[in-house]
Amino acid sequence: MLDIKYIRDNAEKVKKAAADKNIKLDIDRLLELDEKRRSLMAKADEFRAKRNEIAKAGKSGKPTAAQIEEGKKIKEEIARTEENLKILDDEYESLMIKAPTVPSADTPVGKDESGNTEVFNSGELPKFIFQPKNHIELAEDLDIIDFERGAKVAGYRGYYLKNEGASLVMALMMFAYNKMIAKGFAPFIPPTMIREFALFGSGYFESREYNPETDNIYQVATRDKELSGEVSREKKFLIGTAEPSLLAYFSDQVLKEEDLPVKVCGFSPCYRSEIGSYGKDTKGLYRVHEFFKIEQVVVSAADYDISTALQEEMVAISEELHRDLGLPYRKLQICTGDMAPGKYRAFDLEAWLPGTGRWAETGSASNFVDWQARRLNIKYQTKNGERKFAFLLNNTALPSVRPLIAILENYQQADGSVVIPEVLRKYMPEGMEVIKKKK
CATH number for 403: 3.30.930.10
**Per-residue confidence (pLDDT) for residue 58, from 0 to 100:** 62
SS3 category, 226: coil
pLDDT along the chain (439 residues), means of 10: 96 98 97 95 87 72 73 86 91 96 98 98 95 97 97 96 98 98 98 97 93 92 82 91 98 98 98 77 90 98 98 98 98 98 98 96 97 98 97 97 98 97 98 93
Residue 340 lies in a domain: yes
**Per-residue confidence (pLDDT) for residue 54, from 0 to 100:** 74
Say if CB 434 and CB 420 are below 8 A apart: yes
Tell me the CB-side half-sphere exposure of residue 122, using CA atoms within 13 A. 21
Catalytic site residues?
A: 272, 287, 361, 364, 402
Residues 125 and 256 in one domain: yes
Residues 257 and 338 in one domain: yes
Residue 103 lies in a domain: no
Residues 31 and 129 in one domain: no
How many domains is the chain partitioned into structurally? 2
The pTM for the full model equals 0.92
Residues 222 and 309 in one domain: yes
What span, in angstroms and rounded, lies between the C-alpha atoms of 53 and 200? 42
**Per-residue confidence (pLDDT) for residue 323, from 0 to 100:** 98
How many whole angstroms from its chain centre is CA 113? Answer: 18
Q: What is the pairing mode between strands 193-195 and 236-238?
A: antiparallel
Residues 92 and 117 in one domain: no
What span, in angstroms and rounded, lies between the C-alpha atoms of 50 and 63? 14
Residues 361 and 406 in one domain: yes
Residues 156 and 84 in one domain: no
Domain CATH number, residue 19: 1.10.287.40
**Per-residue confidence (pLDDT) for residue 189, from 0 to 100:** 98
Which residues have C-beta within 8 Å of that of residue 263, sequence separation ≥ 6?
A: 184, 185, 186, 296, 297, 298
Range of the domain at 86: 4-96
Residue 101 lies in a domain: no
Say if CB 57 and CB 119 are below 8 A apart: no
What span, in angstroms and rounded, lies between the C-alpha atoms of 325 and 67? 81
Residues 224 and 369 in one domain: yes
Q: Strands, DSSP E only, in 155-226?
A: 160-161, 186-188, 193-195, 218-219
Residue 72 lies in a domain: yes
Residue 85 lies in a domain: yes
Say if CB 183 and CB 232 are below 8 A apart: no
Distances (CA, A) of 13 to 16, 27, 94, 181: 5, 10, 20, 39
Residue 294 lies in a domain: yes
Say if CB 314 and CB 296 are below 8 A apart: yes
* Residue type, position 25, single letter: L
**Per-residue confidence (pLDDT) for residue 279, from 0 to 100:** 66
Residues 205 and 134 in one domain: yes
Residue 403 lies in a domain: yes
